[in-house]
Structure 1
Amino acid sequence: MDSLTQIVLGAAVGEAVLGKKIGNKAMFYGAIAGTIPDLDVLAIHFTDTVSALSIHRGFTHSIVFSIVFAPLFGWIVSRYETFKSFKDWSWLFFLTFVTHPILDAHTTWGTQLFWPFDLRLAFKTIFVIDPLYTIPFLVFLILTLRQKHWTQKRRLYNKIGLIISSSYLLLTIFLKWIAFNQFKSALKDQDITYLQIDTRPSPLNTILWSANVETEDAYLLGNYSFFDTQPITFETYPKNHQLLGDLATNEKVQRMIIISEGWYMISKKNGILYFNDLRFGLLSLAPKSKNFVFQYKIETDNSGKVRFIEAPKDKRDGKKLLFELWMRLKGN
């Protein structure tokens, strides 16, 4: 999830653990702890694109990280804070560390919660930024902050915020199930033979859902809104995996295929190959658009070394997409 959401979650968890004993400091340290796992994004400054993508939401988003580093941070804070309980501080850091990746596991990118095992949990039930999750949570956190730390009302507000946000998260699982079945029914009605379906919510909401459908030699991309009155339609995108040629066996290419969970297509522009990660969809709802959210240029130097370079995004595309999503959300 986005940084603000993780700060809010961390602060609320910190409050639940130590708010009664130390007041607003519990929120403060919880908010800090809630952002620490995301420091793995700094890897992009020290390594190549493929390695940075492999690291992202890896070790720092694991139970192992929570178990190992919670006592360390707990010990450090207990050395200089007036509240000296090593156990309580460690418990605060552990719960804020572990709830961070559990929430992230519901997004499209997912997390390696069980690192070092090669298993990425990605339930794909909520977009990385969802106001319906964050705003009510933030409102009750602010109400909590305004109360004296020993009052029942303070604990009540914080509890309500945690319950509402968690309930919404559970609701997204049910909404995904409904959308998934709508896509399955549409494929059956259109007599489309497919290998697998991957569904996810569109940006900023859980009303409009997207699906990637794999067939033998192509991917079908479709959208479904709970307000739709017309049948679901699908756009066809050839896999073009053969364009990789000998690069298909390259170690970095293989790693990118694993990172994308096999949901990728290859395109070619002006003699340059591009690796398109289909899991995050397109930056446009226009028919036949090939402007994928995550598109990587594949470069090979004279020594045969392969590099992946993320294609730059135009901010105007993002603004246009938000308008298109709003219009599509209201139904076809």
Structure 2
Amino acid sequence: MDSLTQIVLGAAVGEAVLGKKVGNKAMLYGAIAGTIPDLDTFVGNFFDTITAIEIHRGFSHSIVFAVLFAPVFGWIISKIESNSSATWKNWSWLMFWGLFTHPLLDAHTTWGTQLFWPLDLRLAYKNIFVIDPLYTLPFLVFLIMSMRLKRSNPKRRKYNRLGLIISSVYLLMVTPALKFYTFQKFENALENQNISYERMDTRPTPLNSILWTANIETEDAFLIGNYSIFDSQPIEYYSVPKNYSLAKPIENDPNLERLKKISEGWYTFSENNGDLYFNDLRFGTMDIEDPDSEFIFSYKLTKEHGELTATETEKEMTDAKNLLPRLWARILGN
């Protein structure tokens, strides 16, 4: 999830664990704990693109990381807050829950997490977008309400608990129900249109859980369709050719195999001005209404010193600005 959401979650968890004893400092250190796992993005800057992708949401988003480093961070805080009534064990417990709930939340996104690292298993339930105001804003409001009260005030814990309950209900009940409902709609549409397929993957579109996208794999192409719960017209699918033949000269390259594994098989190739690109379909395109729009994650493949390298294509801020009005219009139904 985005940094703000992880800060809010970490702060709320910190308050739940230790707020009664140390007040707003529990929120502060909980917020810090909630941001620590994402420092892997900083570490990734010291590696090549493919390795950086593999590192992201790996070790730092695992149970192992939380267990190993919670006591370390707890000890550091206990030294900083040596005058506090909280003990090293108290701070360690707070840090553990802050570090652990971060990947638990990320597991519900499209990218997922390697919660059980070092096992080669990535959990990705794909029932919430990385930025979802319906999850974050109510959570944030209750956290601020709690923050403004004295630690001895019983309403402080009540407000914080309400924020945790409302956000958890939305994450664990509402969005999975919407995913199941929309999955059935996509499945029925494929059946009604006599489309045979190998597998299907669904996810919410940016900033909401109302409009969903489905990737459907067929023999030679991927079909992509969108469905809003406010739609009144049948689902239409557009086709994206796999173009696997474009990568024939490098089909056995180990770095290409790494990219294929990262994408979980949801990828296509494309050419532009003689350059070859690897497109990760799992995160969609820059414009859900334009079949020819660029994919959000696309990598230019080149050979450098005999080794295949991948360079992520840069996106302009104007691309996102153009997306939002069209996204909002599509959320409201077709």
In 2, Cα distance between equivalents of 1:164 and 1:78: 32
Report the more deviating stretch, 283-292 or 108-117: 283-292
What is the aligned partner in structure 1 of residue 139 from structure 2? 137
The answer on whether the counterparts of 1:127 and 1:203 sit within 8 Å (CA) in structure 2 is: yes
In 1, Cα distance between equivalents of 2:88 and 2:38: 24
Show the 5 A alignment for 1:106-255.
106-170=108-172, 171-255=174-258
Secondary structure, counterpart of 1:249 in structure 2: coil
What is the aligned partner in structure 2 of residue 72 from structure 1? 72
The answer on whether the counterparts of 1:140 and 1:157 sit within 8 Å (CA) in structure 2 is: yes
Secondary structure, counterpart of 2:219 in structure 1: coil
What is the aligned partner in structure 2 of residue 46 from structure 1? 46
Secondary structure, counterpart of 2:16 in structure 1: helix
The answer on whether the counterparts of 2:221 and 2:242 sit within 8 Å (CA) in structure 1 is: yes
In 2, Cα distance between equivalents of 1:44 and 1:98: 21
The answer on whether the counterparts of 2:189 and 2:234 sit within 8 Å (CA) in structure 1 is: yes
Aligned residues: 331
In 2, Cα distance between equivalents of 1:154 and 1:162: 13
Structure 1 residue 288 and structure 2 residue 291: aligned?
yes
Letter in 1 for 2:138: P
The answer on whether the counterparts of 2:286 and 2:319 sit within 8 Å (CA) in structure 1 is: yes
CA RMSD of aligned residues (A): 0.9
Cα shift at 1:251: 1.3
- TM-superposition CA deviations, 1:228-261 (whole Å, max 9, x none): 0010000101111121113121111111111111
Report the more deviating stretch, 54-63 or 286-295: 286-295
Cα shift at 1:182: 0.4
Letter in 2 for 1:118: D
Letter in 2 for 1:72: V
What is the aligned partner in structure 1 of residue 326 from structure 2? 324
In 1, Cα distance between equivalents of 2:330 and 2:291: 16
Secondary structure, counterpart of 1:143 in structure 2: helix
In 2, Cα distance between equivalents of 1:278 and 1:258: 13
- TM-superposition CA deviations, 1:157-208 (whole Å, max 9, x none): 0000000000110210110000111000000000000000000000000000
In 1, Cα distance between equivalents of 2:251 and 2:127: 31
- Structure 1, unaligned runs of 5 or more: none
1:297 to 296, 300, 312: 300
Secondary structure, counterpart of 1:313 in structure 2: coil
Cα shift at 1:217: 1.0
The answer on whether the counterparts of 1:235 and 1:287 sit within 8 Å (CA) in structure 2 is: no
Cα shift at 1:269: 1.0
The answer on whether the counterparts of 1:14 and 1:96 sit within 8 Å (CA) in structure 2 is: yes
User: Structure 2 length as normaliser, TM-score?
Assistant: 0.98
User: Structure 1 length as normaliser, TM-score?
Assistant: 0.98
Cα shift at 1:284: 1.2
In 2, Cα distance between equivalents of 1:276 and 1:147: 49
In 1, Cα distance between equivalents of 2:240 and 2:68: 45
Letter in 2 for 1:185: N
- TM-superposition CA deviations, 1:78-122 (whole Å, max 9, x none): 123122511111110000100000000000100000000000000
Letter in 1 for 2:226: N
In 1, Cα distance between equivalents of 2:324 and 2:281: 19
What is the aligned partner in structure 1 of residue 20 from structure 2? 20
Letter in 2 for 1:80: I
Secondary structure, counterpart of 2:298 in structure 1: strand
Letter in 2 for 1:252: N
**Deviant stretches of 4+, over 6 Å:** none
Letter in 2 for 1:155: R
- Structure 2, unaligned runs of 5 or more: none
In 1, Cα distance between equivalents of 2:291 and 2:263: 21
Secondary structure, counterpart of 2:235 in structure 1: coil
Secondary structure, counterpart of 2:323 in structure 1: helix
Secondary structure, counterpart of 1:294 in structure 2: strand
Cα shift at 1:67: 0.4
In 1, Cα distance between equivalents of 2:221 and 2:293: 14
Letter in 1 for 2:306: G
Letter in 2 for 1:116: P
In 1, Cα distance between equivalents of 2:288 and 2:141: 33
